[in-house]
Amino acid sequence: MDPRLINQLMRHAIRLAQKTPLSPSPNPRVGALLVSPVGEIIASGYHRTAGCDHAEIVVLKSAGKLSGDETLVVTLEPCCHHGKTPPCIDAIIRSGVRKVVVGCIDPNPAVQGRGILELRRAGVNVTLGIEEARCIELNAGFITRHVANRPFFSLKEAATLDGRVFAHGLRKITDVHADRLVHRWRREHDAVLVGIATVLADNPQLTVRFASRNRPQPARVILDSAARTPPSARVVTAHESRCLIAVGPRAPARRIASLEKAGASVLHCRVRRGRIDLDDLLNRLLDQNLYSIMIEGGPRVTQSFLAAGLVDRIDLLFSPRLSGICRGAKTILPLDHGPSFVTALLAELSLKTVGVDIWIGGYIPDSKFYRYLIDAPRQSASPQYRPQVADKIRETASP
């Protein structure tokens, strides 16, 4: 099969995985195709949610009886362990498929290359590392959970051209095109996180708009050590998804009871210097199967996560407006109020116009997720994982 066609098929499988209504945490997003020797798609599918058939099983069931000449294309290494469903490698071997193309290794310690090795021991020709970076980015939360034992955090901020995120008289910063982009980002995460100051100032819902009503919504997480969130706040009363409020040990019991009565879930966390202890928060979020978090808080929340070294990606939206020097104006990154930072150029930098606004985004170079992203090709190129034919496919991959 033509190497360029293999890359095209993998990109198609990635698009299938992206159809998942919301991240199927604790499971990864996975798309799969079954193709004929000439590259015609026989069956396609994706993993919908935990407990449902994995993508490989979906396509094998859909295809029916096979000749053995087909190729299975899958974005993530097939599993080799028993979870809520049996190992996918067993079904692949039983189906008679003799060729499997895999996007990237599964970092779950229960798999981590074992699925590929077991398939090869059974005589299956496995090619690894096709559209590898895109397949890894598809599951940033799942991968960060396993390589860093914490969720993946992306930081989103919108600011005026002179770097202000808030100023009196300036209610809205970006236009509708940027708003749609932000809601698309929300939909790609397990949860959206803000601080109590944002809730009290803006009374946001933090839901995904510009989307089908049938799509699940990400959870909303509020950092509120004193449980000051009003039970009537829209983030609490909008019941499209879970509202999780992280409170400290001294939060008044009556406030907590009022929030729970209104439908919010309360996460009891430790406090450090009057604020929610982020190390403790990470464990609470993992317990809730929240593996990818989009931070939309103000400068104080932004600074806290940056200071703790927890931010993996930054996306900044700049409006062509100028706020000028005015009362109450706040800068996008108020680093003068906390630890000093060494600035570094964002990796895999994106710079695009979105309507009249400018989007600048990229990964923090020393974040654990980005280190995994750039180290993965070296790992998958090791002899036990990858035959040399994959090198030829990578060389002919289109950008």
The reply to whether 266 and 174 lie within a common domain is yes
Phi first, then psi: give them for residue 268, nearest 5 degrees. -85, 115
Query: Residue 185 sits in a domain of what CATH number?
Result: 3.40.430.10
The reply to whether 353 and 382 lie within a common domain is no
pLDDT cut 90: percent of the chain above it = 65
Range 185-192 average pLDDT = 93
Q: How far is CA 281 from the centre of its chain?
A: 18
Look at residue 310 and tell me if it is in a domain. yes
Nearest to 136 by CA among 16, 273, 12, 30: 30
With a cut of 50, say whether residue 397 has pLDDT above it. Answer: no
Interatomic CA distance for residues 363 and 369, integer angstroms: 9
Pair type for strands 292-295 and 152-159:
parallel
The reply to whether 59 and 77 lie within a common domain is yes
Look at residue 208 and tell me if it is in a domain. yes
Range of the domain at 223: 150-363
The reply to whether 124 and 42 lie within a common domain is yes
Look at residue 144 and tell me if it is in a domain. no
Q: What is the 3-state secondary structure (H, E, C) of the chain?
A: CCHHHHHHHHHHHHHHHCCCCCCCCCCCCCEEEEECCCCCEEEEEECCCCCCCCHHHHHHHHHCCCCCCCEEEEEECCCCCCCCCCCHHHHHHHHCCCEEEEEECCCCCCCCCHHHHHHHHCCCEEEECCCHHHHHHHCHHHHHHHHHCCCEEEEEEEECCCCEEEECCECCCCCHHHHHHHHHHHHCCCEEEEEHHHHHHHCCCCCCCCCCCCCCCCEEEEECCCCCCCCCCHHHHCCCCCEEEEECCCCCHHHHHHHHHCCCEEEECCEECCEECHHHHHHHHHHCCCCEEEECCCHHHHHHHHHCCCCCEEEEEECCCCCCCCCCCEECCCHHHCCCCCCCCCEEEEEEEECCEEEEEEECCCCHHHHHHHHHHHHHCCCCCCCCHHHHHHHCCCC
Q: Tell me the HSE value of 252 on the side-chain side, using a 13 A CA sphere.
A: 8
Range 248-261 average pLDDT = 97
95-119 per-position pLDDT tens digit: 999 999 999 999 999 998 999 999 9
Looking at 6-15, 192-201, 209-218, which range is the least confident one?
209-218
The reply to whether 22 and 78 lie within a common domain is yes
Q: Tell me which residues are annotated as active site.
A: 56
The reply to whether 209 and 350 lie within a common domain is yes
Where residue 91 falls among pLDDT bands split at 50, 70, 90? very high
pTM above 0.75, yes or no: yes
Where residue 26 falls among pLDDT bands split at 50, 70, 90? confident
With a cut of 90, say whether residue 281 has pLDDT above it. Answer: yes
With a cut of 80, say whether residue 249 has pLDDT above it. Answer: yes
pLDDT of residue 236: 96
Look at residue 143 and tell me if it is in a domain. no
pLDDT of residue 49: 79
The reply to whether 185 and 118 lie within a common domain is no
The reply to whether 180 and 328 lie within a common domain is yes
pLDDT of residue 338: 38
Look at residue 145 and tell me if it is in a domain. no
Domain tally for the chain? 2
The reply to whether 184 and 332 lie within a common domain is yes
The reply to whether 132 and 280 lie within a common domain is no
Interatomic CA distance for residues 173 and 165, integer angstroms: 8
Interatomic CA distance for residues 78 and 90, integer angstroms: 10
Do the beta carbons of residue 46 and residue 29 sit within 8 Å?
yes
pLDDT of residue 332: 59
44-54 per-position pLDDT tens digit: 999 987 778 89
Do the beta carbons of residue 317 and residue 157 sit within 8 Å?
yes
With a cut of 90, say whether residue 240 has pLDDT above it. Answer: no
Look at residue 247 and tell me if it is in a domain. yes
Query: Residue 53 sits in a domain of what CATH number?
Result: 3.40.140.10
Task: Give the chain's mean pLDDT.
Answer: 86
The reply to whether 124 and 44 lie within a common domain is yes
The reply to whether 337 and 381 lie within a common domain is no
Look at residue 78 and tell me if it is in a domain. yes
* Angle at the Cα of 350 from the Cα atoms of 345 and 352, rounded to 5 degrees: 130
Look at residue 399 and tell me if it is in a domain. no
